[in-house]
Amino acid sequence: MPKATETLLEIDLNALDNNYKYLTSKLKPETKVLAVVKAFGYGSDSVVIAKELAALGADYFAVAYANEGETLRNASIETPILVLHPLPVNFEIIVDRCLEPSIYSRKMLEEFIAFAEGKKQKEYPIHLKFNTGLNRLGFVEKDLDFIVETLSKSQSVKVKSVFSHLAASEDLKLKEFTTGQIDDFRKISEEIIAKLGYKPLLHCANTSGIINYPQAHFDMVRTGIGLYGYGNDPAENKHLKPVGTLKTVISQIHTVQKDESVGYNRGFVAGKTTRSATLPIGHADGIPRSYGKGKGWVTIHEKKAHILGNVCMDMIMVDVTGIECQEGDEAIVFGPSSTAEELSAAINSISYELITAVSQRVKRVVCRN
């Protein structure tokens, strides 16, 4: 890629290909792959990512909300799409656009069946979500009889998959807890298969589940963060390549004298002569204010330039004292050489939060590095 001349997020499709191939190399050949493209493809571009993954052979996509699935359908993506967190107000879009809802409560099950009947649907695909310990969304084991009885009264829906979500698959200190979740999921699935009389797809592993718990792969795995290049583990990160590189450019350089300050509320006061570079990226672009006052940095000519004072809405000022650079030079916020994982750790956050925060104001550029 040519050097950045404005703030942009580069989306490297070769990195995505690499990550897809690496993660699927951990699976049995028959295991299906559901690619999670919620939240604009983890802050990148869900349509660009989904098209590439469809070409690579992804079997399924998942989004959090119905409107995210609608965006994919509007781009002519025909792969099945699971909506992880549908709400009754979105049933219309869901059925109109052939999106497949995760059904996680008794109320949802009854309401969705009634809706599907109203729309004269036959065997509309639904996915039953079970709570095995995350306590976020999902049925519990004692709902089984209710579910099967409710389903038996209608031909309008059919269970395409049964799934659960692991709470701590990345944390091997909690291995016992995770193994318990996997065992509970296996038990619930066996019961529901026996009661339904047919076998839906079973799935419960996210990226860290793929990596750490082969026994949790079942019929399909759901991978998000790994596809975007982050594996929650230094050994795995070596095989994965960050897809997104957030870049910007130096707009202006100031020499700040001792006792002068930089930015709003005099957030930085110079203890000595300091060279400050102003960059056109701020909290409205996805750099949280908590990175201010030296916590966060950008990389300029391979050197770290820490943020001076407070993050502004549209700009940050960084310390380039001792870094040979000039107005117009490129600055990297995160990417393969200076990762989102490393930067987010500076504020006790995680790669997920930093990469999904890149706002829609930032221009996206697709490349193959």
Ligand X SMILES: *Cc1c(COP(=O)(O)O)cnc(C)c1O
SS3 28: coil
Q: Which of 225, 250, 305, 340 binds ligand X (CB under 6 A)?
A: 225
Q: Which is nearer to ligand X, 231 or 309 (CB)?
A: 231
In the chain, DSSP assigns E strands to: 8-12, 32-36, 60-63, 81-83, 100-103, 124-130, 157-164, 201-205, 220-223, 244-249, 252-256, 261-262, 268-269, 274-279, 297-300, 303-308, 316-319, 330-334, 363-367
For the chain, give the number of residues: 369
The one segment of 216-224, 278-286, 310-318, 358-366 that binds ligand X by CB under 6 A? 216-224
Using CB under 6 A as the binding rule, whether residue 36 contacts ligand X is answered as yes
Using CB under 6 A as the binding rule, whether residue 161 contacts ligand X is answered as no
What residues form DSSP beta bridges with 319? 276
1 labelled ligand-binding: no
Using CB under 6 A as the binding rule, whether residue 44 contacts ligand X is answered as no
Q: Which of 32, 127, 165, 283 binds ligand X (CB under 6 A)?
A: 165
Residues assigned a catalytic role: 38, 264
How far, in Å, CA of 90 to CA of 98, rounded? 12
Q: Which is nearer to ligand X, 207 or 278 (CB)?
A: 207
Q: Which of 207, 245, 274, 278 binds ligand X (CB under 6 A)?
A: 207
Total binding residues for ligand X by CB under 6 A?
11
Element (H, E) at 146: helix 144-152
Least distance between ligand X and beta carbon 222 (Å): 4
Using CB under 6 A as the binding rule, whether residue 206 contacts ligand X is answered as yes
User: 318: which 2 tokens?
Assistant: 């960084």
Contact 27, 217 (CB under 8 A): yes
User: 114: which 2 tokens?
Assistant: 């009634």
Q: Which of 127, 222, 283, 306 binds ligand X (CB under 6 A)?
A: 222
Q: Running DSSP on this structure, what letter comes out for residue 247?
A: E
Using CB under 6 A as the binding rule, whether residue 283 contacts ligand X is answered as no
Using CB under 6 A as the binding rule, whether residue 189 contacts ligand X is answered as no
Residues of span 77-116 touching ligand X by CB under 6 A: 84
Residue in the shown chain whose Cβ atom is closest to ligand X: 224
Element (H, E) at 118: helix 106-118
The footprint of ligand X (CB under 6 A) covers 36, 38, 84, 165, 206-207, 222-226
Binding-site residue ranges for substrate: 136, 313
